[in-house]
Amino acid sequence: MEFDLNKKHCFYFNEISQIPRGSRNEKAVSDYVVEFAKKHGYSYLQDDMFNVIVEKPASVGYEDSEPIILQAHMDMVCEKNKDIEHDFESDPLQLYVDEEGWLHAKGTTLGADDGMGVAYMLAILDDKSLEHPALQCVFTVMEEIGLLGAINLKKEYFHGKRYINLDSGSEDATSVTSSGGARVIVSRKLRYQPCTKPVYSIKIRGLKGGHSAGKIHMELGNAIILASRVANKLIENFDDIELVDFNGGMKFNAIPREADLSFASNVKLEDLQACAKTIIDQIKDELKYSDEGFDAMIEIAESSQRSLDPEQSRSIIEFMNVIPNGLQHHSMAIPGLSVASLNAGVIYIKDDILFLDDLIRSALPSHGDIMINQLKILSRVFCFDFEVNDRYYGWDYSKDSKLREILRSVLKEKGIEMKESSTHGGLECGIFKGMIPDLDIITYAPNSYGEHTPDEKLDLASFDRTYENLVEVLKRCK
Ligand SMILES: [Zn+2]
């Protein structure tokens, strides 16, 4: 299998691979698409974030058919092997094909995610012989850093009720649902007092952690929540506990594996440890089948000039003990699928303010509303400030989809039984669904492997077949 630049989708994949296009660096590739649209006489829109929408009119006989929105993101994740010299700001990707017919980039991510979708749209726009309804080809930016480009789109731009996302699925599978997200930041201004007592710290260690979309249903321990539980046990038993510091988690979308909570107290270390042991043993028992490496210890820590008084300390720890966390709902339509969850991802103190960064995911907006509301009410009761950022909607599973049936029939004729895949993660599909509630959605993409790593590769034979299938789907959308 060679990478045949006479095929339009290969030609355009090669073209965009010459243009550096990491997230937040999409202007050049965006301008390339604009120049392409101008050259072909298509009307287009380029917004202030460099998202581009190119309009291709319906082919003859399709003038009355419902338009179709095609969509892919232009940005790519920039990862490289240590031993490779590559500047993602200026260097083109070094494409090559291996003996098995997979396309790679030498030592770097390939950007098949989602260059394959971008190349498909350019190929379709470039081919006047194709039959299809009016097309709106949407090229988004900053997908990889929180779907930010898609969030910036306006519903007024779109006139279609049918949408094909070219960023998810594989040659024989289409996605049927994704979750929305919202980042909730709760914070509380701290009032310190001088500290004269010895300082101890609760250390939570040995947890597995993992991505908060893919792993939230696995009953994994959350280090921040568990540290709060141990601290609460101490506060219940000793009335002089004064919070000094609280630090846990690395990323809002990862289940935190470690946390350190330090406090001052005149209680002897042995008594603190004996009291904490009862709750630590209970947690070990709870996690013995899901997170068996869990351990917690109480140790002497560095002394501190200041601490929070016992009342403030109690209030903060109690807040952390009552906030909802983890899986809230799973799908009753798709076995095993998480559809609503919270992840208390990061906690830290900065400039005398305690921050908790919590990520909420939900396929249904109303589930998201419930969780946001719970955190909002508890924040008010416990004197925390509350803020919701970067909210985007999910795509709830719908039993009926005409587009899905068209794809199913196209694949069936090729002898492929179409699979349906689902994720608790976020897709740009959800944002389009939020803008256009009665949107019919499918996702379709060729087989690729190792996305977001230098091992990323694209199956060229699948790249060809999937393109043919996509063109056939468009033809049947009369
Ligand atoms: Zn992608």
202-246 per-position pLDDT tens digit: 999 999 998 888 899 999 999 999 999 999 999 999 999 999 999
Ligand 1 centroid–CA 395 distance in Å is 16
Ligand 1 centroid–CA 422 distance in Å is 15
Mean pLDDT confidence for 255-270: 97
Residue 82 pLDDT grade (very low, low, confident, very high; cuts 50, 70, 90) = confident
Residue 308's φ and ψ, nearest 5 degrees, are: -95, 145
What is the distance between the alpha carbons of residues 58 and 66, in angstroms, rounded to a whole number? 10
Ligand 1 centroid–CA 281 distance in Å is 42
pLDDT by residue (tens digit) across 118-139?
Answer: 999 999 999 999 999 999 999 9
Q: Residues with Cβ within 5 Å of ion ligand 1? A: 113-114, 167
What is the distance between the alpha carbons of residues 214 and 227, in angstroms, rounded to a whole number? 23
Residue 287 contacts residue 221 (beta carbons within 8 Å) = yes
Structure tokens at 442: 């499918």
Ligand 1 centroid–CA 477 distance in Å is 25
pLDDT by residue (tens digit) across 319-378?
Answer: 999 999 999 999 999 999 999 999 999 999 999 999 999 999 999 999 999 999 999 999
Ligand 1 centroid–CA 452 distance in Å is 9
Ligand 1 centroid–CA 144 distance in Å is 7
Residue 390 contacts residue 149 (beta carbons within 8 Å) = no
Ligand 1 centroid–CA 329 distance in Å is 26
Ligand 1 centroid–CA 91 distance in Å is 21
Angle between helices 460-475 and 112-126 (to 10 degrees): 50
- The residues, any chain, with a CB within 8 Å of residue 129's CB and separated by 6 or more, are none
Residue 298 pLDDT grade (very low, low, confident, very high; cuts 50, 70, 90) = very high
pLDDT by residue (tens digit) across 15-70?
Answer: 999 999 999 999 999 999 999 999 999 999 999 999 999 999 999 999 999 999 99
Which pLDDT score is estimated for 88? 96
Ligand 1 centroid–CA 206 distance in Å is 32
Torsion of CA 447, 448, 449, 452, to 10 degrees: -140
Ligand 1 centroid–CA 165 distance in Å is 10
Ligand 1 centroid–CA 26 distance in Å is 14
Residue 390 has pLDDT above 90, yes or no: no
Residue 195 contacts residue 307 (beta carbons within 8 Å) = yes
Q: How far apart are the first and last CA of the chain?
A: 34
Ligand 1 centroid–CA 332 distance in Å is 27
> Taking the model in full, what pTM does it have?
0.85
pLDDT by residue (tens digit) across 234-258?
Answer: 999 999 999 999 999 998 989 999 9
Ligand 1 centroid–CA 285 distance in Å is 39
Ligand 1 centroid–CA 141 distance in Å is 11
Q: Report the 10 Å Cβ neighbour count for 187.
A: 17
pLDDT by residue (tens digit) across 446-466?
Answer: 999 998 899 999 999 999 999
Residue 277 has pLDDT above 90, yes or no: yes
Q: What does pLDDT average to over the chain?
A: 96
Which pLDDT score is estimated for 185? 98
pLDDT by residue (tens digit) across 141-183?
Answer: 999 988 999 999 999 999 999 999 999 879 999 999 999 999 9
Ligand 1 centroid–CA 100 distance in Å is 24
| DSSP per-residue string spanning 262-284 | EEE-SS-HHHHHHHHHHHHHHHH
Which pLDDT score is estimated for 146? 86
What is the distance between the alpha carbons of residues 430 and 424, in angstroms, rounded to a whole number? 11
Ligand 1 centroid–CA 87 distance in Å is 21
Domains of the chain: 8-178+395-475 (3.40.630.10), 181-389 (3.30.70.360)
Q: What's the length of the chain?
A: 478
Ligand 1 centroid–CA 75 distance in Å is 8
